[in-house]
Amino acid sequence: MRYNYRNHRRVLVIGGRTGFTGGYGISDAWTGDGHTENHWRETNARVEGPIVKYLQAAFTESWLEATGTLLGGDGYFPLLEPQGKVSAQMVKSSPIWGSFQNYMLFLLSITSAQKSILITNSYFIPDDTMIQALLNAAARGVRVIVLVPGKIDHEIT
């Protein structure tokens, strides 16, 4: 597993109160709108409220593993009141653990969706079970949208 042992998490937390997650390509190629050739578009989400501490905990876990230093306390994790009307869940994984649990969470989410499923993933490679779950959701009237790149940059995808 050494070949896959890297941190690919995209987490930005400001003051322990505002979080961003998604894709963070840093170069001129990532300044696009999704329509201009060679200028890719990224999807990011800004979050506030208790979900921020889970984003920060994912970063802290990686920091501890890399440096041996634990970041904690009220300075890093202030008390956060709920914000807005949308519930959120943060799901993390690593090369060591979490892949099967995430797969099951996604599959259960798809099979229980009632209104919509919106997926954006630059390397979306669903297996037959996941494809069938998405088709079944669409057949029962769930709005299913999968946003993937128009141009593939990795042969396996």
pTM of this prediction exceeds 0.85: no
Q: Given pLDDT bands bounded at 50, 70 and 90, which one contains residue 3?
A: low
Residue 156 lies in a domain: no
Once rounded to an integer, what is the mean pLDDT over residues 59-88?
A: 89
Do 93 and 114 belong to one domain?
Answer: no
What confidence tens digit (pLDDT) does each residue in 111-138 have? 999 999 999 887 888 999 999 999 999 9
Q: Is the pLDDT of residue 50 over 90?
A: yes
Q: Is the pLDDT of residue 5 over 70?
A: no
Average pLDDT over the chain, rounded to whole? 85
Residue 78 lies in a domain: yes
Q: Which of 60, 81, 97 is the last residue of a domain?
A: 97
Is the pLDDT higher at 76 or at 112? 112
Do 58 and 8 belong to one domain?
Answer: yes
Q: Is the pLDDT of residue 109 over 90?
A: yes
Residue 155 lies in a domain: no
> How is 7-41 classified by DSSP, letter by letter?
----EEEETTTEEEEE----SGGG---SSSTT---
Own/partner contacts of 24-28, CB < 8 Å, gap of 24 or more, are none
Task: State the DSSP code for 121.
Answer: -
Rounded Cα distance, 50 and 55, in Å: 10
Q: Which of 82, 97, 112 is the last residue of a domain?
A: 97
Worst-scoring range by mean pLDDT, 53-57, 100-104, 115-119, 144-148? Answer: 100-104
Residue 134 lies in a domain: yes
Do 85 and 105 belong to one domain?
Answer: no
- Number of domains, the chain: 2
Range of the domain at 1: 1-97
**pLDDT given for residue 98 in this prediction:** 66
Q: Is the pLDDT of residue 2 over 70?
A: no
Do 67 and 2 belong to one domain?
Answer: yes
**pLDDT given for residue 91 in this prediction:** 82
Rounded to 10 degrees, the C-alpha dihedral 116/47/69/67 comes to 60
